[in-house]
Amino acid sequence: MAVHDLHDGFGRSITYLRISVTDKCNYRCVYCMPEEGVAARGHDELLTAEEIARFVRLVANEGISRVRLTGGEPLVSHRIVPLVAALRAIPGIEDISLTTNGALLPHMAADLCEAGLDRVNISLDTLDAEQFSRITRLGRLEQALAGIDAALEYGFDPVKVNTVVVRRLQQDTFGLARLSVDRPVHVRFIEYMPIGNEETIGACKNEPHCPPGVSGSAPELHPEAWDASDIVPSDELRAQISAAGETAGIGPLLPVADGGPSGAGPAQYWRFAQAKGTVGFISAMSNHFCSRCNRLRLTADGTIRPCLFSDDEYPVREALRAGDDARVLEIYRSAIAHKPEEHDTTDGTARFMSQIGG
């Protein structure tokens, strides 16, 4: 039971912490990371598992009850399993989830399950093997599919699939939504967000903003060349998937009466009539859910970020390292007090998504 239940300046209760365990990744998804990866940080710049656990123990007393581990790719971090176990032991932490590209999940699902992980989200942007390799630059479709199978086999519940939708990638969104028919998975479509692109979305098309050669070399794979029309509003996508369902004889999408799977967050859930799972839509761009935002982020280098879209950051690493709990809490409360009322989606951010923790 939390000692305090911290509210921000707009009356929102802050209960959910997303922790980036590492900013490294075994993929290089075009919308998330540059092809060359991100500059490697010195070991001493990153929080250790003990420091992360210490932070969570402190903020569990301030109302945090749910934690998501993300990155970069959290499963490339050697400390992920001990970290899950340490978080599981913290009183007040009721729910521990993890977002992964799934590639390493078949090898790690058993250990994560034993350590006490409750549930997983797996990213999957396409069912076309070639397109998967192009979007992730280093990944293979069968890895993500095996990851989903492993998540189901080990009983993580719910299992959610995250798809970032970009108009010019022309993904087969109905094919992805259809995964929810035969399997108890919740396929969620996320509107692409211009994170890590400091240019104002819509202002950056081709030259002079884009790197040389973009227009000639598969421009659809260069976010620098994407513009506002590449964001597919959730309402439009839902109508398309629903119509495709009717054509395919599995019916239109129907609203989910109970709001959807646990940890529903900002997604709106729908389902095909006979489906085992659901189809969700996350409208970060077309319909802000800021008034209901209950989350805070902790980056791998020990910085609290009150809003994904704002570069306002509150470093806690030094205070954690010095064992100064009072100072850590002071910084934490200040971060909450400065959480913005809503996000400005017209500007990009200085850090890439993989460095913030999506």
Sites of contact with ligand SF4 (CB under 6 A): 25, 27-29, 32-33, 71-73, 101, 123, 136, 353-354
Residue located via tokens 């971060």: 335
For ligand SF4, the closer CB: 139 or 302: 139
Q: 86-105: which residues touch ligand SAM (CB under 6 A)?
A: 99-101
Pattern 2-41, ligand SAM, x by CB under 6 A: -----------------------x-----xx---------
Paired strand residues for 119: 97
Work out how close the CB of 258 gets to ligand SF4 at its nearest, in angstroms, rounded to a whole number.
29
Work out how close the CB of 125 gets to ligand SF4 at its nearest, in angstroms, rounded to a whole number.
9
Does residue 266 interact with ligand SAM by CB under 6 A? no
| Count of residues near ligand SAM by CB under 6 A | 19
For ligand SF4, the closer CB: 113 or 190: 190
For ligand SAM, the closer CB: 62 or 154: 154
Q: 111-170: which residues touch ligand SAM (CB under 6 A)?
A: 123, 162, 164
For ligand SF4, the closer CB: 173 or 355: 355
Whole-angstrom distance, CA of residue 325 vs CA of residue 117: 26
Q: Which residue is nearest to ligand SAM (CB)?
A: 358
Give Cβ neighbours of residue 144 (< 8 Å, ≥ 6 apart): 101, 102, 103, 122, 123, 124, 132
For ligand SAM, the closer CB: 63 or 358: 358
Work out how close the CB of 45 gets to ligand SAM at its nearest, in angstroms, rounded to a whole number.
19
Phi/psi zone of residue 90: left (φ > 0), alpha (ψ -120 to 50 degrees), beta? beta
Pattern 56-85, ligand SAM, x by CB under 6 A: --------------xx-x------------
Work out how close the CB of 64 gets to ligand SAM at its nearest, in angstroms, rounded to a whole number.
19
CA 118 to chain centre: 16
List contacts with ligand SAM (CB under 6 A). 25, 31-32, 70-71, 73, 99-101, 123, 162, 164, 190, 192-193, 195, 353-354, 358
